[in-house]
Amino acid sequence: MNTALPKIWNTTFTDHTINVRKMDFHLAENGVQTRVLLGREFKWPTGKSLPANLIPEYIFFYLKDLAKDYRAKTPDWVMIKDGIHVISEKFRDFLAGFDLGANEIFDVPLYEFDQKTPCPGRWFIFHLCETKDTLVPEHSEGLKQSGLTPGFWMSKLAQNDVLAVKASSAEGADIWLDLHMDGRIFLSDRLKSALKPAGIRVLKMPIRPCVVVA
């Protein structure tokens, strides 16, 4: 009988400012309050679905004189203003081959600076809201507990921590969050292994193995 533990991976994609594209979003009710609420959904996830009034109507490049190559060569997964995740049609199609659980993808048009001229391709808001009780902090290295939120952990070693996770969290969705751990996205082995062969382009997405605990 094969008793090998599954492989589970984590990435600090959201920690890297190079992944932020010069794009903004527009809501039907585009006031300060609703924009702040949307930003919170991505910066401090709750594991809940995105309310209908917080789904952007469209996204756009917010600087007029951006180089043509910059606009045309947007990677397949980026963050835009306020940490909103945006993915290409290629990445959307790639993810369709995996178990996304509760994660949400919303079709959203991309416009030039004038907010009228369409940009080529199809783009999507990617809302990570699938959560699992994954982290095993007592077997992890380089973490510190938040003094403000009980049961919430943060890295104290930047990119050099070692996360221990429960083997059971390999079940179900292939990409997820743990609400007890800030700034980390978890990946199944099958999704991680398929990223490079699929040619998915991301500017900075270090992927590191987790220590899997039975």
pLDDT digits (tens, 9 = 90+) for 45-79: 999 999 999 999 999 999 999 999 999 999 999 99
- pLDDT score at 143: 92
pLDDT, residue 158, reads 67
Confidence check: pLDDT of 189 > 80: yes
- Look at residue 3 in the predicted model and tell me its pLDDT: 65
Q: What confidence category does residue 2 fall into, taking pLDDT thresholds of 50, 70 and 90?
A: very low
Total number of residues shown for the chain = 214
Task: Give pLDDT, residue 54.
Answer: 97
Instruction: Give 36: exposed, middle or buried? Use CB within 10 Å, 0-12, 13-18, 19+.
Output: exposed
Phi, psi of 148 (to 5 degrees): -100, -35
Give the whole-number percent of the chain exceeding pLDDT 70. Answer: 98
pTM over 0.75: yes
